[in-house]
Structure 1
Amino acid sequence: MTSLKFTCDKALLSAAIDGVSRAITNRSAIPVLEGIYLKAEGFQLTLTGYDMEMGITTTIECNVLVPGETVLEAKLLGSMVSRMPSGDVRIELNNEGMAVISGGVAEFEIPAMNASDYPSLPNTAAENTMTIPTSMMREMIEKTIYAVAVEDKKPAHTGELFVIEPGSLTLVALDGYRLAIIQRDVECKRDIRIIIPAKTLQELLKILGGPDDPVKIDANRRYVVFTTNGYTIMSRLIEGEFLNYESVIPRECRTHVVVDCKTFIDTLERASLIITDRLKNPLRITFAPSKITVRCQTPLGKVVDEFAPDKMEGDTMEIGFNNRYLLDALRYSKCDKMLIEMNGPLSPVKLLPVEGNGFIYLVLPVRFKNEG
């Protein structure tokens, strides 16, 4: 086993361990993948976490006394370093194959794994696609990721579709019951459609830095690589056919309603008190010019609640909704007011910002039992 010895600022090391640990699975079939790969050379330490699908690496400053590499159990290393007193932490390998981790008067010894057993991250050969500000990346993911499918019936829908076109980036998420689309103008000359696993995007959100920090995106047909805030996140893409989402967006609309989101959310939350995972009865919502009425009945009880729309045009309409799907769309929109467009009790309901084309959300209605 190679020798290795370095000292590093505790806060810097702890943050780096935390960041790369996001790519590590606690119960891997390959024990070495439960560890963080550490490589010290020159004046820097490179840390890597990898689960064969996604890899996260970062490089930090450190004082390398003896260059080398090792793999240390991620959870244990993270817990030890985070609890060290502030100042420098020292890590070195001894002749018995143990890593000695010390800070202040505290000293731990843990087994070191062989660095040569650690699989290399693939050479992705991903091409530069675009660079966008963190604020844009964060908003686009946060406003859509709620609609990604959790179950694996169609693997393509457990990720988000990135439609990259010259001058434009569109993100699409859907799970068969709802759909979220957001499009932004960006500087980009490429034309490629890729499906990125939801897990990769969730971990990217946690690693993103300040709003003006750049996020560099490289992609090809097999991999995507995000570089931001001192980290590189490499991920395999999901293969398969994504739904032709443009074909399901309703073009017609018989009823337009503008609602205050907070008022609607409060009303839906009250009505949801009698809905449980076992008693998933739909909300029966009547949209009329003077009031929106929300009704629900389950074995736990019955509720009727109402509020006035800001504005309504078109036919009065009664539609059944899954409470969570409607609540998610209103909450994740982060809007004060929303425009709801309907075309009939069984047609997808469209939710839009009142101004601009910030996003499109669709929610499928629920058919009432007495309607066959």
Structure 2
Amino acid sequence: MKFECEKTLLASAIEGVSRAITNRSAIPVLEGVYLKAEGFNLTLTGYDMEMGITTTIECNVLVPGETVLEAKLLLSMVSRMPAGDVRIELTDEGQAIISGGVAEFEIPALNASDYPSLPVTGADNTMTIPTSMMRELIEKTIYAVSQDDKKPAHTGELFVIEPGSLTIVALDGYRLAIIQRDVECTRDIRIIIPAKTLQELLKILGGPEDPVKIDANRRYVVFTTNGYTIMSRLIEGDFLSYETVIPKEKRTRVVVDCRTFINVIERCSLIITERLKNPLRITFAEDKITVRCQTPLGKVVDEFPPVKLEGDPVEIGFNNRYLLDALRYSKCERMALEINGPLSPVKLLPEEGKDFIYLVLPVRFKNEG
């Protein structure tokens, strides 16, 4: 095998497919990038047995062939080559010579025949949406995905795909994020996509109007966008029936300026640490919102005026990080908090409309029964 490829193009492709590669795999060949040169193209693949990423770029193929090269080392070498073309050549002794300008490396090549084939997913076309929508849907929900493997289904995001509608749900037992968009879908299916797959998809997405094609069945999802194909196994298991936990009523509705609220919470969080996770005690009243906290490091009181408050005054406890995440990831100027008492989940929405729904569970104060 021997080929030449423009350095920047090659480095970008290696970096893209390497997002599916783990550095400490039980199968050594999976720590490498699979390269196949034929015709006028080079196809690159990264795979960790759960997620695979492939892309094809133009190159000058002098001798067709295939090989596997250690991903991290290959990317470091190619990205540090001088501008221009990079040549990769496989010797009869199983070595790979990587050269650019006068620089030349020689590293061991792994046996391409040991590299596992990506599964034939059989996934059916489901929808095509613009990158801007895909990015928004993930960024506004991924923060609420569970980090606890005890409930594997909640370590991913639920995609509820119906004709004309896509709903995405993430939850971790303490907060919940739901976002829905009207889109043209050709399927009616509910799937749970691993958070890791969606996080890597975010890094690969192209321009705002670039299409993202989504194919899915009961076992796999396949995203095709920006010259890449990302294949992922789905998470099996039962996702919480999220519709049943959304409060239907409210006793208090308060509209806040998000930037002001974030600034106050950040100040009050200065005395909260990983070891000292005391809750924020927040009082919502018609003329002011008061935020208090006390830990062994000290105590703090801060306040700011609401934009508007309807209903009863209420005092409620919050985990500072959960409340901050909801305010930050909403990317809203103003948000409405709908509260049905100090122990009921708090619903957070845009001031107008239902662009998304966030829920945050309150924290019970120690002096309460």
Asked if TM exceeds 0.5, the reply is yes
For 1:70-99, what per-residue CA distance to the aligned partner results, in whole angstroms no more than 9, with x for missing partners? 000000000000000010000000121100
For 1:107-126, what per-residue CA distance to the aligned partner results, in whole angstroms no more than 9, with x for missing partners? 00000000000000000000
For 1:294-325, what per-residue CA distance to the aligned partner results, in whole angstroms no more than 9, with x for missing partners? 00000000000000000000000000000000
Equivalences for residues 36-47 of structure 1 within 5 A: 36-47=33-44
Aligned-partner SS, 1:370: coil
1:6 aligns with 2:3: yes
For 1:36-73, what per-residue CA distance to the aligned partner results, in whole angstroms no more than 9, with x for missing partners? 00000000000000000000000000000000000000
Equivalent of residue 191 in structure 1, options 188, 193, 196? 188
Equivalent of residue 176 in structure 1, options 173, 177, 180? 173
Match of 1:130 in 2: 127
Equivalent of residue 113 in structure 2, options 106, 116, 132? 116
Match of 1:231 in 2: 228
1:357 is displaced (CA, Å) by: 1.4
- Aligned 8 A contact 2:125 2:186 in 1: no
1:105 aligns with 2:73: no
1:232 is displaced (CA, Å) by: 0.1
Alignment partners' CA distance in 2, 1:94 and 1:157? 48
Alignment partners' CA distance in 2, 1:361 and 1:37? 42
Which 5+ residue runs of structure 2 have no aligned equivalent? Answer: none
Match of 1:19 in 2: 16
Match of 1:340 in 2: 337
Which 5+ residue runs of structure 1 have no aligned equivalent? Answer: none
Match of 1:71 in 2: 68
Aligned letter for 2:302?
A: D
Number of aligned residues: 369
Alignment partners' CA distance in 1, 2:187 and 2:250? 35
Structure 1's consecutive aligned runs of 4 or more residues displaced over 3 angstroms after TM superposition are: none
1:363 aligns with 2:360: yes
Match of 2:150 in 1: 153
Aligned letter for 1:357?
A: K
Aligned letter for 1:340?
A: L
TM norm structure 1: 0.99
Aligned-partner SS, 1:85: coil
Alignment partners' CA distance in 1, 2:115 and 2:40? 23
1:265 aligns with 2:259: no
Alignment partners' CA distance in 1, 2:167 and 2:135? 13
Alignment partners' CA distance in 2, 1:341 and 1:153? 30
1:62 aligns with 2:55: no
Aligned-partner SS, 1:33: helix
Equivalent of residue 279 in structure 1, options 263, 276, 280? 276
1:356 is displaced (CA, Å) by: 2.0
Alignment partners' CA distance in 2, 1:44 and 1:356? 48
TM norm structure 2: 1.00
Aligned letter for 2:152?
A: P
Match of 1:289 in 2: 286
Alignment partners' CA distance in 1, 2:94 and 2:186? 51
Equivalent of residue 298 in structure 1, options 295, 298, 301? 295
Alignment partners' CA distance in 1, 2:120 and 2:155? 25
